[in-house]
Amino acid sequence: MNPTETDISLFKRLRFVLVETSRAGNVGSVARAMKTMGFSDLVLVTPRCAEPLTDPEAVAFASGASDVLEGARIAGSIAEALEGCNFAAAVSARLREFSPPVWSPRRFSAHAAAAADLRPAIIFGNERVGLPNGIVEQCNVLINIPANPAYSSLNLSQAAQVLAYDCRLAAEGENRTQEGIGFQGEAASLAQIEGMYAHLEEALVAIGFLNADNPKKLMPRLKRLFARTQLETEEVNILRGIARQMMRSKD
């Protein structure tokens, strides 16, 4: 399932904002994290590195996401960066005494995906000092990524990847069918599966693994096992072929 190109798609509505980023490589890494999840709106607020969008390190770390870098914008203030947005979320590992409500990435992504009229922005701070309190207090929510309490600081691009991933899941629907991923054969019919069970039982009796007079719960357990696999027609045929060969080797 490819991201839709309509204005209401979260892939088009969501903006990533980097505040006072020090390393051009991190800018490139964030661009890569965004592109892998289908997002492209990137704004830098007063970056501390020179030429962050064309620096060789940024281009190298973007690794194919140069289009995101080329389309990125540099803003002189957080207000300028958030123009057109109506919901702002600060990302921080450090909780503040005076801060907006604290949300998890999952809660934010669900909220952002559900409201088609929302123009959300996710704001990331400087690698060393994070976001200043003044910016955090201007935001609607503070996103805190659950992590090891003894070491909860994520790299800038890692934090961006976590948020981008959660937002992609929410935008597409987490329980969507994975169309086109891997081989998916025709589902076996109930009659085919029952025929396979009968054939398999016969083979197990033939090799002495199953006592036909005292079967106990072996076949019900095997049925429960195979029921979890959602058998396909070709898989049923393979299992029947195994049962056939078992019976031949017994003769």
Average pLDDT of the segment spanning 132-136: 90
What structural domains does the chain harbor? Answer: 10-172 (3.40.1280.10), 190-250 (1.10.8.590)
For residue range 70-111, what is the model confidence (pLDDT) as tens digits?
A: 999 999 999 999 999 999 999 988 877 767 899 999 999 999
**% residues pLDDT > 90 (the chain):** 60
Tens of pLDDT, residue by residue over 35-70, are 999 999 999 999 999 999 999 999 999 999 999 999
pLDDT value of residue 161: 97
Q: What is the pLDDT of residues 219-238, one digit of tens each?
A: 888 888 888 877 889 999 99
- State the pLDDT at residue 183: 58
Cα distances from 244 to residues 64, 144, 189, 204, 226, in angstroms, run 52, 57, 20, 10, 18
Which residues make Cβ contacts (< 8 Å) with residue 106, sequence separation at least 6? 166, 170
Specify the pTM: 0.71
Residue 175 has pLDDT above 60, yes or no: no
d(CA 80, CA 16): 13
CA 87 distance to own-chain centroid: 22
Of residues 250 and 197, which shows the higher confidence score?
197
